[in-house]
Structure 1
Amino acid sequence: MAETMQALTYFGEGDVRADTRSKPTILDPTDAIIRIDTTTICVAVQNFKPGDKVLISCVSRGGACENCQKQLYSHCQNGGSWILGYMIDGTLAEYVRTPFADTSLYHLPDRLDKEVAVFFSDALPTGHEIGVQYGEVKPGSDIMIAGAGPVGMGVLLTSQFYSPATITVVDMDDNRLAKAREMGATHTVNPAKDDVSARVAEITGGRGVDTAVEAVGLPATWKTCADNVKEGGNIAVVGVHGKPVKFQLQDMWIKNLTVTTGLVNANTTGMLMKAVQNSDLPITSLATHQFTWDQLDQAWETFSHADTHQAMKVIIDNP
């Protein structure tokens, strides 16, 4: 077997391209080396064997520290957390070393196609935990999602497990709004063309939404959420903010609002994988473009210019 592999590699800002890299090796006894359909595992790994089909969680966790005991896996104190693609090489490669394999991998059920399973690594758990659960989506509630990217769509999909009365998706991309309607949104609003507050008032009988999910990470989408949530409502911040936002505490206080933020902990991944097997949610609609390993550069170009290519999730398959 060759000792090298193809991997999408970061060489510096604006310089990401396919490269030939050495295959990863076992460094710690709890590691596993993963390839689609092929696994090499060290002896300390008990829950998986070579040949198992697995899902790699976006969050690696040791499972024994104080935070892991509270299911705050994104803050693992023993070297886990968000390390894939940050502290160690990530999964845009033919092989990947996965630390804490026993607690960071999931067996893939035979009924769950890999085209669906890939979204349980990050987008769906993030949308569910930080958007739906933190936002306290309930049966009969009105919710608004500001941002129709992959994570916003993850909120849209997983919120439907809780039977809200209305799901309004706000985005400036008409193509993504059309996709949102296909995936279950009851209403869509383009703020470049319509007054969001007027439309939300029309949809909710003038009351505003029970849950507003901010799924972009911009001051404008934060303001959209703050302006359109009703008294006693929830604002769930899923988007990654790189700049400060105006936090109008005097207005939020008087409305008894709850604001939540957070990194995904992937503590609902197993539950979601079970739930989706008996649902007809159009999860595969998230995948708009598919490539193979010999097309890594094309895949990255498509991802980097998603608006031009009308791309949602770009999938790289290892046949």
Structure 2
Amino acid sequence: MKAHVLRTGGDDLALEEIGIAAPGEGEVLVRVAACGVCHTDLHVIKDEVAFPKPCVLGHEISGWVEETGPGVDGLSAGDRVACSFVMPCGACRHCRRGNEDLCEEFFAKNRLKGQLYDGTTRLSDAEGAPVAMYSMAGLAEYAVVPATAVFRVPESIPLEKAAILGCSVFTSYGAVHNVGQVRPGDTVAVVAVGGIGLNIVQMAAAHGAERIVAVDISDEKLELARRMGATDTVNSLNEDPDEAVRALTDGHGVDVAFEAFGSAPTVRTAVDLVDDGGRVVLVGIAPAGVEAQINIAHVVRRKIQILGSYGARASQDMPAVLDLVAEGRIALDDLLTDTYAFADADRAYKDLAARRIRGRAVVTMGAPS
């Protein structure tokens, strides 16, 4: 099959012919319809996050079931599906407790070694050498995915849009519902409204947040955030976000502040914006080694909670995400701002690095379906 291969960090993605093995026990072979373009992949491309190479990136896909391996129930060839980037093993101590977003096998084998749960990859290059898989390695014509991460998509959701459900929308659901615990009437700030931040805005609105303040340096993204449900916007290039948010909240700050970029300055901003007793939810992935200085006395005295949120729980949360989209409470049209042909995947990530993508982008394999 054809796949976009990253040979070395800092290099371009190269379209190559590579081998793909049949799905093993508990696995599904998916013919890819679309793959989301995510900043986490970009960290690997830029060598800001360690990952084995050569590799195939792309960790949120939609498509059709081509074949199922032994032991897979409930999925059949031809099913329209979307796949979550967290591919839980279902057996480790965290999975058994319902904390699939902490799956030890996923982090130990996939995120550190680019393998699936038998300790091998399903991909090989022309010489037969292994090619690492970042999640399901979706920047390819086909992907082998553990069945724990594969979910049927209703006919009402177009597949080229459904790709972004498995990371962008999935991650925002985990941040808003599970970690931020946003409730009707809450006030919320979202610092950095790119692909994930825009979804957090929309997800907070779906959870009944009364005031949602979007903070960014791009007026274009802030306007898009308003369409996603933001009640207020702050361009932090032009005004102090702490002063602006407190002016909007009677001087108090917000109940929950989300950080969706992954940098020391934006983390500090999120901590500044939260009210006494509030929650700061860190969602953005930072390059390895990035640290943020926090005013310890302020956090302790004000009883502020600083919480990490990584993805969500596949078995519980992907069905909930699909329901929200099917019910129209989460819209994908405004969120999906850029579409690239399969051959142009490398350009998509260059555009992402240059901040030319306003919301979320996808790489598609062919005609919309």
Q: Output the TM-score relative to the length of structure 2.
A: 0.79
Taking a change above 3 Å as real, the CA distance of residues 266 and 8 of structure 1, as seen in their structure-2 partners, is: farther
Partner of 1:181: 226
Equivalent positions of 1:222-261 (< 5 A) are: 222-242=267-287, 243-261=290-308
The one-letter code sitting in structure 1 at the alignment partner of 2:89 is G
Cα separation, 1, equivalents of 2:281 and 2:246: 20
Give the CA deviation at 1:241.
3.0
Q: Partner residue of 1:61?
A: 88
Counterpart contact for 2:4–2:14, Cα < 8 Å: yes
Choose from 300, 314, 317 the match for 2:361.
Answer: 314
Structure 1 CA distance for aligned equivalents of residues 244 and 229 of structure 2: 18
**Unpaired runs of at least 5, structure 2:** 32-62, 116-131
Write out per-residue CA displacement over residues 163-201 of structure 1, whole angstroms, 9 at most, x where no aligned residue: 111100101111111111121111110111012122112
| Cα gap change, 1:121 to 1:66, in 2 (>3 Å) | same
Percent identity at matched positions? 23
Using the alignment, how far apart are the partners of 1:210 and 1:201 within structure 2?
12
Which range is displaced more, 227-236 or 109-118?
Answer: 109-118
59-68 vs 22-31, greater mean Cα deviation:
22-31
User: Which SS does the other structure have where 1:116 is aligned?
Assistant: helix
1:32 is the counterpart of 2:35: no
Aligned CA RMSD, in angstroms, stands at: 2.1
1:299 paired to 2:348: yes
- Is structure 2 residue 162 aligned with structure 1 residue 108? no
Report the secondary structure of 2:171's partner residue: helix
Would you say the 8 A contact 2:65–2:75 is kept in 1? no
Q: Which moved more, 1:291-300 or 1:171-180?
A: 291-300
The letter of the residue matching 1:48 is L
CA positional deviation for 1:64: 2.3
SS at match of 2:319: helix
- Asked if the contact 1:226/1:235 (under 8 Å) is kept, the reply is yes
Larger deviation, residues 293-302 vs 148-157: 293-302
CA deviations 1:125-154 (Å, max 9, x no partner) are 211212443122111111101111111112
Q: Give the partner amino acid of 1:65.
A: C
The 1:155/1:72 distance shift into structure 2, 3 A limit, reads same
Distance in 1, matches of 2:24 and 2:276, equals 51
Q: Aligned partners of 1:117 and 1:270: how far apart in 2?
A: 13
> How far has the Cα of 1:80 moved from its partner?
6.8
Asked whether the equivalents of residues 242 and 272 of structure 2 are also in contact (C-alpha less than 8 Å), the reply is yes
Q: Does 1:8 align with 2:4?
A: yes
CA distance in 1, matches of 2:275, 2:109: 34
Moved more, 66-75 or 143-152: 66-75
1:283 Cα deviation (Å)?
2.0
Cα 1:193–1:78 change in 2 (3 A) is closer
Matched, 1:75 2:102: yes
1:28-51: per-residue Cα shift (whole Å, max 9, x none)?
A: 322221103351222321221111
Letter of the 2:219 partner, please give it: D
Residue 91 (structure 1) shift: 0.6
| Structure 1: runs of 5+ lacking an equivalent | none
Moved more, 200-209 or 291-300: 291-300
Q: Are the structure 2 counterparts of residues 47 and 9 from structure 1 closer, same or farther at C-alpha, using a change threshold of 3 Å?
A: same
3-state SS, counterpart of residue 106 of structure 1: strand
Q: 2-side partners of 1:161 and 1:259: how far apart?
A: 23
Q: 1:82 to 1:282 in 2, by over 3 A?
A: farther
SS at match of 1:224: helix
2:174 is matched with 129
Contact 1:74 1:82 in 2 (8 A): no
Work out whether residues 84 and 166 of structure 2, in 8 Å CA contact, stay in contact via their aligned partners in 1: yes
The answer to whether residue 164 in structure 2 is matched with residue 119 in structure 1 is yes
Rounded to whole Å, the distance in 2 between the matches of 1:258 and 1:151 is: 21
Contact 1:231–1:255 at 8 Å: present in 2 too? yes
By how many angstroms is 1:83 displaced? 2.5
Q: Structure 1 CA distance, aligned partners of 2:168 and 2:72?
A: 27
Count residues in correspondence. 311
Amino acid at match of 1:11: R
Larger RCO, structure (CA 8 Å, separation 6 or more): 2
The one-letter amino acid of 1:254's match is: R
1:286-306 deviation per Cα after TM superposition (whole angstroms, max 9, x unaligned): 22211222333333332332x
The AA in structure 2 aligned to 1:198 is E
Instruction: Sort the Cα spacing of 1:18 and 1:286 in 2 relative to 1 into closer, same or farther, 3 A.
Output: farther
2:254 equivalent in structure 1: 209
Distance 1:132 1:78, change over 3 A: closer
Residue type at the aligned position of 1:300? Y
For residue 81 of structure 1, report the CA deviation from its aligned partner: 7.5
Distance 1:286 1:187 in 2: 18
